[in-house]
Amino acid sequence: MSDKIYVGSGKVVGKYGQIGVSLCVSDIPKEHIFTSQKTGKKYINLKVCEKKQVDQYGKTHYVEIDTWQPNQAPQQTGQPQTNQQNVQQTNFDVVDDSEVPF
């Protein structure tokens, strides 16, 4: 897991739970800005998270870069993937219906 990259902060504004944030564009590392192959527009993945406590400036939220990357590309076998470590095979005994009391 990589270190968090904080790029802004914000607070709840208005009556309807809106969160106003300030984002420092110069703090965004270039390796986290990507270009859409379809539109050619530039994007960055961000997370807006609630702080545990309100800071001295009244900020209730912080903005960080979402640095999550998949470990590997999914295999293109056409079958659903399963995590073999978590799959357990269970054998059930066959119950004769005549032995069930209801």
Concatenating the DSSP letter of every residue in 42-79 gives EE--EEEEE-SS--TT---EEEEE-----SSPPP-SSS
Give pLDDT tens digits for 7-20. Answer: 999 999 988 989 99
Give pLDDT tens digits for 64-81. Answer: 999 988 886 655 655 555
Report the share of the chain in percent with pLDDT over 90.
58
Confidence class of residue 102 from pLDDT cuts 50, 70 and 90? Answer: very low
Give yes or no for residue 30 having a pLDDT over 50: yes
Q: Is 9 exposed, middle or buried (0-12, 13-18, 19+ CB in 10 A)?
A: buried
**The two three-digit tokens of residue 28, written as one number:** 């965004």
What size, in residues, is the chain? 102
Domain spans, the chain: 1-69
Give pLDDT tens digits for 38-69. Answer: 999 999 999 999 999 999 999 999 999 999 88
